[in-house]
């Protein structure tokens, strides 16, 4: 059984380890824990890990955030993975740092990456793990904030959030969406 896990972010050194790229950072941690590395592939960098008999395909799209749907659709079709085995990892301004929310459907919440995915898939019914990045920015400076690097005093909480997120991904592939939501949304 195969699963597709897509971490949202932007390619390029200027975006590495910014708040908006937490999806990439989570997948890097998951791949690293499995001694797996990403390789360039169509519409993104790809890695594959095994966990309890499941094949887990990790994709970091190279389409930039606002066109993430192209990569998601391509890999779903190429790997013949149904929507119920897709999980999107993304940042969320509406959640404080330290909070994560796993959902099986919902709106894009103003997130351009999710908006494009929903347009391309013509569905809002797919799992997404939203990782809180907080909203500690002055009015008119949202872009600077999400594309900004983490503050020193946020790093420890960020590490915990990434670790929790990798556990949630593995749980999603083994115990399913509903049980994983019950466990990780507390």
Q: Domain 2-184 classified CATH 3.40.50.1470?
A: yes
Query: Residue 166's pLDDT is what?
Result: 98
Residue 118 CB neighbour total at 10 angstroms: 19
Which residue has better confidence, 26 or 64?
A: 26
Phi, psi of 123 (to 5 degrees): -160, 150
Cα three-residue angle 47-143-7, rounded to 5 degrees: 15
Statement: residue 106 has pLDDT above 90 = yes
The whole-angstrom separation of Cα 83 and Cα 91 is 20
Residue from 17, 20, 111, 141 carrying the catalytic annotation: 20
| pLDDT-based confidence at residue 64 (cuts at 50, 70, 90) | confident
105: left (phi over 0), alpha (psi -120 to 50) or beta: beta
What is the pLDDT at residue 136?
82
pLDDT at 143: 87
What is the DSSP secondary structure assignment for residue 126, as one 8-state letter? S
Q: Is 51 a catalytic residue?
A: no
Q: What's the average model confidence in pLDDT over 15-40? A: 96
Per-residue pLDDT tens over the stretch 152-169? 999 999 999 999 999 999
Place of tokens 């949630």: 168
| For residue 142, pLDDT beyond 90 | no
Top pLDDT among 38 and 144 is at 38
* Per-domain boundaries in the chain: 2-184
């Amino acid at each position: 059984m195969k699963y597709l896990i897509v971490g949202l972010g932007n390619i390029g050194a200027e975006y590495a380890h910014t708040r908006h790229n937490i999806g990439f950072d989570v997948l890097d941690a998951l791949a690293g824990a499995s001694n797996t590395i990403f390789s360039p592939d169509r519409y993104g960098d790809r890695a594959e890990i095994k966990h309890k008999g499941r094949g887990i395909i990790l994709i970091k799209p190279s389409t930039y955030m606002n066109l993430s749907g192209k990569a998601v659709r391509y890999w779903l079709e190429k790997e013949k993975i149904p929507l119920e085995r897709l999980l999107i990892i993304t940042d969320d301004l509406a959640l404080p740092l330290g909070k994560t929310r796993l959902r099986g459907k919902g709106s894009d919440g103003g997130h351009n990456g999710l908006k494009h995915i929903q347009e391309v898939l013509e569905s809002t019914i797919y799992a997404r793990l939203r990782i809180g990045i907080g909203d500690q920015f002055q009015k008119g400076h949202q872009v600077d904030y999400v594309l900004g690097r983490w503050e020193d005093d946020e790093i420890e909480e960020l590490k915990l959030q990434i670790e929790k997120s990798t556990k949630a991904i593995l749980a999603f592939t083994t115990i399913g969406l509903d049980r994983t939501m019950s466990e990780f949304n507390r």
